[in-house]
Amino acid sequence: MFLKNLILILGVLFFTQASSQCNIEDMVNEKISYFSVVTFEKDIEFYSDDFRSELKRSLVKKISEFVGTSSEINVNQNKKKRKSKATYAAIALVVDPKFTKCENIAVISVNKKLYKKSQYDNFNRQLKFHARNLDNFIKSMDKNNVTKKLLRGKVKYYTKELIDIRSLLPLVKLNSSDTRILDNFSKNISLIEHLLDQLKQNKTINWKKFKDGIVNGINKIIG
């Protein structure tokens, strides 16, 4: 009798333990979602804004690791090449995240297609904005309004923006228009870098030749 009761108790304990185990694969589909797992102590913690923010940061980190955290940017400057590391910036574009829990395990997930679409929209918006502004700036330049200080600031600013934009490339699929705008944007940065070098060397600028070398068509491509 004692042995039968012992077997029954052990069976109940085993069943309870087995049924209480959480299977992440049952909570999220890895094929269609990016996800991250974080543990918590109390149920009330799972529903708090601070914990949800922690989950989002965890997810962004996971996505960054999955996609690849950096890309190399080669910018031609005369005959020299300058290489920069572009840190991947997934940041706050976590669209409609799904929060699920099993016991003390919390899972945040986001649909890969929706996430990539939001990243592309962000990429496209940034690229067009900065490419158009640089294009307009270059076309407005002349010997009366261009200084080394101004150009140095523009080169620094637009190079940083190019790095940030290019860092999104692992997550976006470019069309032919995107490729042309990105290429022209990069060439225009090289153009003002070259102009800055000439000014540093106190060379006389042939403004007609310079204007002829401007990469045209960005505004036409953007539409």
149-163 pLDDT, tens per residue? Answer: 999 999 999 999 998
Per the domain annotation, does 1 fall within a domain? no
What is d(CA 45, CA 29) in angstroms, rounded to the nearest whole number? Answer: 24
Query: If 0-12 CB within 10 Å is exposed, 13-18 middle and 19+ buried, where does residue 117 land?
Result: middle
**First-to-final CA distance of the chain:** 86
What is d(CA 133, CA 183) in angstroms, rounded to the nearest whole number? Answer: 15
Q: Name the region of 217 (left: φ>0; alpha: ψ -120 to 50; beta: rest).
A: left
Per the domain annotation, does 24 fall within a domain? no
Per the domain annotation, does 20 fall within a domain? no
Per the domain annotation, does 90 fall within a domain? yes
Per the domain annotation, does 7 fall within a domain? no
pTM over 0.85: no
pLDDT on residue 94? 67
Per the domain annotation, does 204 fall within a domain? yes
| Structural domain count of the chain | 1
> Which structural domain range is residue 38 located in?
32-222
What is d(CA 201, CA 178) in angstroms, rounded to the nearest whole number? Answer: 35
- Can you tell me which residue has the tokens 């270059």? 138
The predicted-structure confidence for 23-79, as pLDDT tens digits, reads as follows 777 778 878 888 889 988 888 998 999 998 888 888 888 877 666 544 443 334 444
Per the domain annotation, does 48 fall within a domain? yes
Q: Is 84:75 a contact under the CB 8 Å cutoff?
A: yes
Pairing outcome for strands 33-39 and 105-111:
antiparallel
Per the domain annotation, does 112 fall within a domain? yes
The model's confidence at residue 17, banded by pLDDT at 50, 70 and 90, is very low
What is d(CA 204, CA 34) in angstroms, rounded to the nearest whole number? Answer: 55
